[in-house]
Amino acid sequence: MKVQAIRNLYPQVVTTRGDDAYDAAEQLIQYDEALVEQEVVRLQEQEASVAYKKNRADEYPPITDYIDGVVKGDQTQIDAYIAACLAVKAKYPKSE
């Protein structure tokens, strides 16, 4: 994530090796480590704020379970689908 932070803050950076950053002419670019660390924290917070979406998508039951219940008029199946979705939402709440 540090490389992404450096590239976000210093668009002239095209290559990184270890903690060193270079421009297109392979000239070393000096960067503010504290500023980069702040950007890393911002990127981590941004990633965490939307991670719940992927986690939920991976665990939701198939929508066909719900549709099947609707087509058959099976309220028990519909309720089970809704309960399963609510359980996933509770397991992976939206971050504030």
- Residues 38, 82: one domain? no
Same domain, residue pair 43 and 66: no
For residues 19 and 39, membership in a common domain is answered with: yes
pLDDT at 94: 85
Complete DSSP assignment for the chain: -HHHHHHHH-TT--EEETTEEE-TT--EE---HHHHHHHHHHHHHHHHHHHHHHHHHHHSPPHHHHHHHHHHT-HHHHHHHHHHHHHHHHHSPPP-
pLDDT of residue 32: 95
pLDDT at residue 96, rounded to an integer:
64
66 shares a domain with 42:
no
2/39 same-domain check = yes
Q: Flag residues of the chain having pLDDT under 70.
A: 96
Identify the domain containing residue 79 by its residue range.
Answer: 60-96
Domain count within the chain: 2
Q: Whole-prediction pTM value?
A: 0.59
Residue 55 lies in a domain: no
- Whether 84 maps to a domain, the answer reads yes
Residues 38 and 13 in one domain: yes
